[in-house]
Structure 1
Amino acid sequence: MIDKQVRTVAEALEGLQDGAAIMISGFGEAGVPAELIDGVVAQGASDLTIISNNAGTGDVGIAALIGAGRVRKVICSYPRMVGSRHFEERYRAGELELELVPQGNLAARIQAAGSGLGAIFTPTGYGTKLAEGKETREIDGRHYVLEYPIQADVALVKAYKADRWGNLVYRKAARNFGPIMAMAGKTTIVQVEEIDPLGTLDPETVVTPGIFVDRIVRIADAGKAAA
């Protein structure tokens, strides 16, 4: 019987190692797996590479990981949101490496990893510092930059509902990076608010098939305000 449910966040994160590359879903506050990130803080892994749309705000989530000195590198499109003081302090001190990726390229590179592509050509960044040292090519009169897929050891994703097979339903804007990150993580761990009986999810609402999901942990009432 396939059952990907685990009882606790600690059990969901079992095996997370120092030096891991971790994808974290979310856009602003929507779709952020806050309890899973708290679990990483408690678990103790360090020297991490975080792949996300931003570098966290305030003192929670990704910002808490950075503030605790557990992050070596951030790959993101928008590191300095209002209140991103932990990122700024560590980066200015030379304690944190940053790979800045345009948002569309970030999504496309993650999607390329999940789709098994070797690389992609994108026009975004051509002729700028972001293209320095990278292969370029002219295709049908337009210039492109070669970008490589971004894969992670672990993807932490927030969804709304799941069944025990790992089929996922998202809530509105909280869908954002979740589906492509679920595909691009070697191990995909998902926090949900509900786990419904097998066969009761409307197939038309399932965005991420269970084949991409390894572990599910239910966290009641998690993030309902961040729709």
Structure 2
Amino acid sequence: MKKIYPDARAALDGLTFDGMTVMSGGFGLCGIAENLIVALRDSGVKDLTVISNNAGVDDFGLGLLLQTRQIKKMISSYVGENKEFERQYLSGELELEFNPQGTLAERCRAGGAGIPGFYTKTGVGTLIAEGKEHKEFDGETYIMETGLVADLSIVKAWKGDEQGNLVFRKTARNFNPMMATAGKVTIAEVEEIVPLGSLDPDCIHTPGVYVQRLIKGDHEKRVEQRTVRQRETA
């Protein structure tokens, strides 16, 4: 099965439709599928539900899809770096389903594992618990959360081979591995495509069985808030 595509636009061909659900890996701007997000914007697809830890920043990452009003709903953990997100949410233009960060990660992992729901103590007694099933285990109250599955998952890895086996680099791994398993179709963009057999099997984070399409991208790797120490002078 040929999985390598020449660019992000080609990799999305035939997969996008209005109202679809997209999982987007990354944490802040670390480990995001930069090229695939731009290609989604350029495709013109609209009314998206996007599952992502955050919504990028105003002019980068998923913030690009907010600028063009292509996102209808966000299922997220943190959205504090994006003024346009704030404006759209407060004006009622954008739906938001907040999740504690660990709950969001587990919902994605559960969806990829075929688990429809699970119980957690996180959020009990808060707004997060409203309308959700409550159950006691060993005298403690838990709430039920559902697994998440997307029409499309877009992830970013460090290296990938010709069959889509992926290796992520350090903290850029974040949400990517579990989201790669939870898409009906998963596209990975990587910094380097290596020959089959060159990756140590013990170091593969996502097996190629979860990845249907693969591209090599050029990555800006922008930093949200660059903080440096003042240089000391004698």
Note whether the superposition's TM-score is higher than 0.5: yes
**AA of the residue aligned to 2:124:** Y
Q: Is the contact made by 1:164 and 1:195 (CA closer than 8 Å) also made in structure 2?
A: yes
Distance 1:6 1:89 in 2: 37
**Structure 2: gaps of 5 or more residues:** 224-234
Counterpart in the other structure of 1:90? 88
Post-superposition CA distance 1:141-177 (Å, at most 9, x none): 2110011111110001000111111100111110000
Overall identity of the aligned pairs, in %: 47
Counterpart in the other structure of 1:20? 20
**AA of the residue aligned to 2:12:** L
Residue 223 of structure 1 and its aligned partner are, at CA, apart by: 4.4
Q: Is the contact made by 1:56 and 1:87 (CA closer than 8 Å) also made in structure 2?
A: no
Distance 1:7 1:102 in 2: 37
Aligned partner of 1:138 among 136, 151, 167? 136
**1:202 counterpart = 2:200:** yes
Counterpart in the other structure of 1:186? 184
Distance 1:133 1:59 in 2: 35
SS in 1 for 2:41: helix
SS in 2 for 1:161: strand
Q: Is the contact made by 1:182 and 1:188 (CA closer than 8 Å) also made in structure 2?
A: yes
Counterpart in the other structure of 1:69? 69
Structure 1 segment 132-171 matched on structure 2, within 5 A = 132-171=130-169
* Normalised TM-score (structure 2): 0.92
Residue 11 of structure 1 and its aligned partner are, at CA, apart by: 0.8
Distance 1:168 1:8 in 2: 18
Q: Is the contact made by 2:75 and 2:98 (CA closer than 8 Å) also made in structure 1?
A: yes
Query: Which range is displaced more, 84-93 or 39-48?
Result: 84-93
Counterpart in the other structure of 2:111? 113
SS in 2 for 1:159: strand
SS in 1 for 2:106: helix
Distance 1:225 1:152 in 2: 26
Post-superposition CA distance 1:50-77 (Å, at most 9, x none): 1100122121221110111111000000
Counterpart in the other structure of 1:11? 10
Residue 225 of structure 1 and its aligned partner are, at CA, apart by: 6.8
Distance 1:43 1:10 in 2: 8
Q: Is the contact made by 2:8 and 2:36 (CA closer than 8 Å) also made in structure 1?
A: yes
Distance 2:221 2:192 in 1: 12
* Normalised TM-score (structure 1): 0.95
**1:43 counterpart = 2:35:** no
Distance 1:88 1:135 in 2: 29
Residue 118 of structure 1 and its aligned partner are, at CA, apart by: 1.9
Distance 1:109 1:199 in 2: 32
Question: Aligned-pair RMSD on alpha carbons?
Answer: 1.2
Counterpart in the other structure of 1:34? 34
**AA of the residue aligned to 1:219:** G
Q: Is the contact made by 2:30 and 2:221 (CA closer than 8 Å) also made in structure 1?
A: no
Residue 224 of structure 1 and its aligned partner are, at CA, apart by: 5.7
The structure having more radius of gyration, on CA atoms, is 2
Residue 85 of structure 1 and its aligned partner are, at CA, apart by: 1.1
